[in-house]
Amino acid sequence: MKVLKYKISICVLTSIILIATFLTGSAPASPSKKAVEALSTELIEIKTRPGVRQKFVLIKPLHPVASVIFFRGGTGLFKFKNRSGKIKIGQGKKLFEMLKNDFATQGVVVAVIDAPSDKPKGINPSFRMSKEHAQDVKDIVSYLIDTTKLPIWLFGHSFGTISVAQVGIHAQVGIDGLVFASPVTQTIKTWGKIFNSNPNGIIDMDLDKIRVHTFFVYHKDDKCIGTPPSNIPRLKEAVKNSKILELTGGKTQKSKPCGPLAAHSFFGIEKQFFSTIAEFIKSQ
């Protein structure tokens, strides 16, 4: 596995924030400017499959306690580029900033994964279930094992939960836990092959093979067609030792039900959402 590194920005951390979460019953504090400035942000590109390169941005606090690989929903695209010594983000800039400010500042290394070089238009659910995708992620896991020496978690939202399930089932070596946010438990015909192979989304995968810490997080008012809250009990039944958290509240929906400004994406409670997940990871 060959690794190419790009821009690195490191500042000195002068304080550490302890962020309260829904798990403790209180609202999370906003990260201080110093905590955000203390993060190092690095664009990394590794060679995975023959002729394929996989990019991801590594966000590191000064004193991390765990490493997390994050899988975006939808097409999985961020379109990371290195321009004039700076990391440019072609898509999902707001989400990326939340991963920095509201997640990494709480003491976790975050590897924000982009679509691989052979999927310039993004990845679909079928590819997320492929051996090729699992191989790309396994190489990122190996990189984090070698460089961070920390427990490694996979964290996916929406379609990203298909990626987490695939890798969590078939490549558990080196992985310490899984987080499924707004998990896909229902598919529709327009999604392609997955509609026939997995009509119940990740429920139709071999979830009983999962042997690591598992956390399912969902919003009570999620109206996205692929992530109905009513199916959550079936996930608990499939993964016996998992934990489930239902979140409520937030702002009035301003996008389509599966979009970023809806309960599906924890609109209005994003800080609490990321804080909850960070605290769960750190507590294991």
pLDDT at 83: 83
* Number of structural domains found in the chain: 1
pLDDT beyond 90 at 34: no
Average pLDDT over residues 80-102: 94
- CATH code (residue 113): 3.40.50.1820
Q: Per-residue confidence at 32, pLDDT binned at 50, 70, 90?
A: low
The gap from C-alpha 194 to its chain's centroid, in whole angstroms, comes to 21
With a pLDDT cut of 70, the percent of the chain lying above it is: 88
Alpha-carbon torsion angle 105, 73, 265, 110, nearest 10: -10
Measured over the CA atoms of residue 100, residue 17, residue 274 and residue 234, the dihedral's sign is: positive
Characterize the bridge pairing of strands 40-47 and 53-60. antiparallel
pLDDT of 141 over the 50 cut: yes
- What does the alpha-carbon distance between residue 68 and residue 175 come to, in Å, rounded to a whole number? 10
* pLDDT single digits (tens) 114-140: 999 999 999 999 999 999 999 999 999
pLDDT band at 3 (very low <50, low <70, confident <90, very high): low
Distance separating alpha carbons of residues 95 and 91, to the nearest angstrom: 9
Tell me how far the alpha carbon of residue 248 is from its chain's centroid.
Answer: 20
In terms of pTM, does the model score above 0.85?
yes
Residue with tokens 């609490």: 272
**Which residues form the domain of 37?**
3-283
Q: Where residue 184 falls among pLDDT bands split at 50, 70, 90? A: very high
**Does residue 6 register a pLDDT over 50?**
no
CB of 184 closer than 8 Å to CB of 202: yes
Residue 70 pLDDT: 98
Q: Is residue 112 within 8 Å of residue 70, measured between CB atoms?
A: yes
Q: What is the pLDDT of residues 220-278, one digit of tens each?
A: 999 999 999 999 999 999 998 899 999 999 999 999 999 999 999 999 999 999 999 99
Report how many helices (DSSP H) and strands (DSSP E) the chain contains, helices first: 8, 11
Q: Pick the residue with more confidence: 2 or 230?
A: 230
* Tokens matching residue 229: 């809250």
pLDDT on residue 20: 34
pLDDT at 192: 87
Written as six digits, the tokens of 169 are 């089932």
Task: Give the pLDDT band (50/70/90) at residue 77.
Answer: very high
Return the sign of the alpha-carbon dihedral for residues 153, 74, 105, 62.
Answer: positive
Q: Helix, strand, or coil here: 155?
A: strand
Mean pLDDT of all residues belonging to the chain: 89
